[in-house]
């Protein structure tokens, strides 16, 4: 049995809503150090289809579906790199910290919000659920 490696610092939480969700092309569960699933959650915002991935703007009257994970701080640079905030940052996403209700518990979570200028020309994802939208699109193909 392998010894568990202790976290490199206090665990943080992250809300993921797109390709980082379980089953997504960047499934957070395949990254290292491995995250710990905390629960499904939703936040107020709007979800946009940007091609192979979504973007979310925070606020408003709609809900975006996602998952919350506890992560070792050592995982955060890998997430930043996936969201283009790493070595050569772009202005496409901004990392924010928001309060998320997970099963009745309020947790402070990192979230990657799309710069609104990228969302303006994009289509809205109905029901705010990226995984459901891509599954529906796959089922609609001939």
Give me the tens of pLDDT residue by residue for the chain, a chain 142 residues long. Answer: 444 556 667 899 999 999 999 999 999 999 999 999 999 999 999 999 999 999 999 999 999 999 999 999 999 999 999 999 988 899 999 999 999 999 999 999 999 999 999 999 999 998 999 999 999 887 765 5
Q: Check the CA dihedral 100-46-112-23 and report its sign.
A: positive
Domain limits of the chain? Answer: 12-137
**Residue written as token pair 């629960």:** 39
Cis peptide before 33 (omega within 30 of 0): yes
Q: What is the CATH number of domain 12-137?
A: 3.10.490.10
Q: Provide the whole-model pTM.
A: 0.91
């Amino acid at each position: 049995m392998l010894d568990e490696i202790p976290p490199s610092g206090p665990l943080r939480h992250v809300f993921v809503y797109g390709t980082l969700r379980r089953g997504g092309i960047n499934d957070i569960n395949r990254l290292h150090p491995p995250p710990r699933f905390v629960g499904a959650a939703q936040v107020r915002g709007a979800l946009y289809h940007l091609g192979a991935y979504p973007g979310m703007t925070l606020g408003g009257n709609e809900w975006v579906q996602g998952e919350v994970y506890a992560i070792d701080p050592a995982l955060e640079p890998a997430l930043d790199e996936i969201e283009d905030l790493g070595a050569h940052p772009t202005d496409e996403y901004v990392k924010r910290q928001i309060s998320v209700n997970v099963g009745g518990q309020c947790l402070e979570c990192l979230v990657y919000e799309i710069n609104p200028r990228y969302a303006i020309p994009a289509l809205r994802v109905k029901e705010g659920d990226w995984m459901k939208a891509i599954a529906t699109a796959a089922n609609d193909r001939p």
